A = this chain, B = another copy of it.
Amino acid sequence: MPLPALAAKAAELGYDGLELACWGDHFEVDKALSNDSYCRSRLDILAKHKLKCYAISNHLVGQCVCDLIDERHKTILPPRVWGDGKPEPVRQRAAHEMKDTAAAAAKLGVKIVNGFTGSSVWHKLYFFPPTAASEIESGYRDFAARWNPIFDAFDKVGVLFALEVHPTEIAYDIHTARHAIEAVGGRPTFGFNFDPSHLIWQGVCPVKFIDAFAGRIYHVHIKDAKRQMDGTNSILSSHLAFGDPRRGWDFRSPGRGEIDFEEIIRALNHAQYHGPLSVEWEDSGMDRIHGAKEAAAFVRRLDFDPSNVAFDAAFSE
């Protein structure tokens, strides 16, 4: 859905803002940097529907900064970043694009870039064949080596990077998040896009995450998930696609999963988070428009100390 149509729809469904994705054609980093009127044009589209933009997202390019590159990554990169697909150059071009993303965000007047980092050690998740602590440590050093220069670029334009803590990233739970912060010396450029849907099925309490990183939560995704364990399936989900009812867990429209958003809102209030609550909608068992609408209403009902309700347009096509 092109941005004008999406903006109209989002406003109609009850949203106050949009989180623009840097893939597809909602917000194109290269155009933002090369074309001086581009950012203005984007904001005009939003303004026409009284929508704000609190953050932009560049998960897909960010993923390629640290990942061991394989064919899957081709599908998530623009050709100019993928190039010939040789791993190290891909990673470097991705890193460069992330620097540009910070600059583009600044031009748009946005202070937060949400995204992924990738990880060179994710595939060593289970410690067999035997895995030394030093091997893991080198993964965190690799993260610091690749992202510190990017974060320097962010600092230069006064923009923050909010990692969506998520499997396949350098941080996917509380301990790894702490590890990642330490790896970059605790610099404030690096914080989190809190999304409870990636934590709940791991058994991580979303409120504990907020308590642990109160000052470093720069953005919030409202997305739900539910474990559907019955003794015959696995929390690791059996190499089955999202939407397959045999999986151990799946995403859900907000309020239809097992996340206790009530406690999350209280914890965010207590942590003095004042940013938007951005709905990232994903539910294989429900019509998208129906879901986006009920999600907006759900967040409004939930949010007793009014925050603004945004829609994450990243996955909206």
Cross-chain contact B242 with A127 (CB below 8 angstroms):
yes
Kindly identify which residue among B230, B253, B269, B294 contacts A231, using a CB–CB cutoff of 8 Å. B230
The residue of chain B having its C-beta at the shortest distance from the C-beta of A126 within the complex is: B167
Residues of B within 8 A of A229 (CB): 203
In the complex, A128→B167 CA distance in Å?
A: 8
Cross-chain contact B204 with A241 (CB below 8 angstroms):
no
Cross-chain contact A287 with B305 (CB below 8 angstroms):
yes
Of A12-20, A24-32, A80-88, A171-179, which stretch is located at the interface?
A171-179
Total chain A interface residues with beta-carbon distance under 8 A: 73
The count of identical subunits is: 6
The residue of chain B having its C-beta at the shortest distance from the C-beta of A245 within the complex is: B270
Check: A125 CB closer than 8 A to any chain B CB: yes
Check: A272 CB closer than 8 A to any chain B CB: no
Q: Shortest distance in angstroms between A234's beta carbon and chain B's nearest beta carbon? A: 4
Kindly identify which residue among B133, B173, B269 contacts A236, using a CB–CB cutoff of 8 Å. B173
In the complex, A152→B115 CA distance in Å?
A: 49
User: Which A86-136 residues sit within 8 Å CB-CB of chain B?
Assistant: 121-131, 133, 135-136
Kindly identify which residue among B121, B173, B232 contacts A233, using a CB–CB cutoff of 8 Å. B173
Cross-chain contact B175 with A234 (CB below 8 angstroms):
yes
Cross-chain contact A212 with B236 (CB below 8 angstroms):
no
Kindly identify which residue among B126, B235, B246 contacts A175, using a CB–CB cutoff of 8 Å. B246
Seen from chain A, the residues whose Cβ lies within 8 Å of a Cβ on chain B are: 60, 63, 67, 72-73, 75-76, 121-131, 133, 135-136, 139, 166-168, 172-176, 179, 199, 202-205, 207-208, 212, 227-236, 238-242, 245-246, 248, 253, 256, 262-263, 266-267, 269-270, 285-287, 290-291, 294, 304-305
Interface contacts beyond A75-B130, A256-B262: sample of 8 additional A-B pairs, CB < 8 Å, sorted by A: A128-B168, A139-B239, A174-B238, A175-B238, A175-B246, A204-B231, A205-B232, A245-B267
